[in-house]
Amino acid sequence: MQIFLDTADVAELKALVDTGLIDGVTTNPTLVAKAGKPFRPVLAEICALIPGPISAEAVATDAAGMVREGNLLRAVAPNVVVKLPLTPEGLKATKILSADGAKVNVTLCFSAVQALLAAKAGATYISPFVGRLDDGGHDGMELVREIRAIYDNYGFETQILAASLRTPPHVRDAALAGADCATLPPAVFRALYKHPLTDLGLEAFLKDWKASGLSVE
C-alpha cells in the first residue's frame, strides 16, 4: 500500500521525505490556507521535493471552471494530480480531464455507488473519507471494502486512496481492506513506528550490549 502525507506544510515534508517511505502527498484548500503562503509556489516546491503523485484541488464549482483550474495545476509540475469533488460537475470535469491525459483524484466519497461513478468517469484515484463516516456512526472502513469489491468485479483501474485516516489502526484496517493508498497526517505517520514493546526491547538489547563490553568494530 502506498503511503501519502496529507499536508501542505513543506517543512513537515522535508522532515519526513528522508525516511524513503513517502510515496506522495495530498492537499486540500484547508491545508493550503493553513500554510499561509501563495499556493502555486508551495505546490511547485512540494512537487520538486517528492516525485510521486501530488494531489492539488480545484476550487471552482462548475465543470468548466474545474477544467480550467485543473489545467493550471497540471502546468505546475508533471506529477500533479488534479483533485475534484464527487459532484455532478466534478465528474463531468473528471471525464474531460482524464480524457486529456490528466490524473484525477475524486474526493469526498461517502458511498460505494459514488465510487462506481468516479471510476466510470475515468478517475485515477477515489478518496473515501473513512474518519468522517466514523464520526457519523457508520463503519467507514466498510466503504473501502465495498469499493474494493466493486472495482475488482469490473476490473476498474481506479485506485482506492483511503482518506480521513486518524490513527494507526485506521492505516492497518485500510491495508487489510485492500486500499491501494492511504493518506495520513504527518502525526499519524510518525505514530506508525510506535509500539511500547519495541522501545522496551531496544532498551534491553542496548543495556545487555553495554554490559558485555563488546564492540561491533
Of 166, 106, 105, give the one whose Cα is nearest residue 140.
166
Strands 24-26 and 2-6: parallel
Largest CA distance in the chain: 71
Beta bridge partners of 162: 182
| Active-site choice (14, 34, 37, 83) | 83
Is residue 34 annotated as a catalytic residue, yes or no?
no
The beta strand positions in the chain, using DSSP E, are 2-6, 24-26, 54-57, 80-85, 104-109, 125-128, 159-162, 181-184
Q: What are phi and psi of 185, to 5 degrees?
A: -65, 155
Q: What are phi and psi of 133, to 5 degrees?
A: -65, -40
Q: Which residues are catalytic?
A: 83
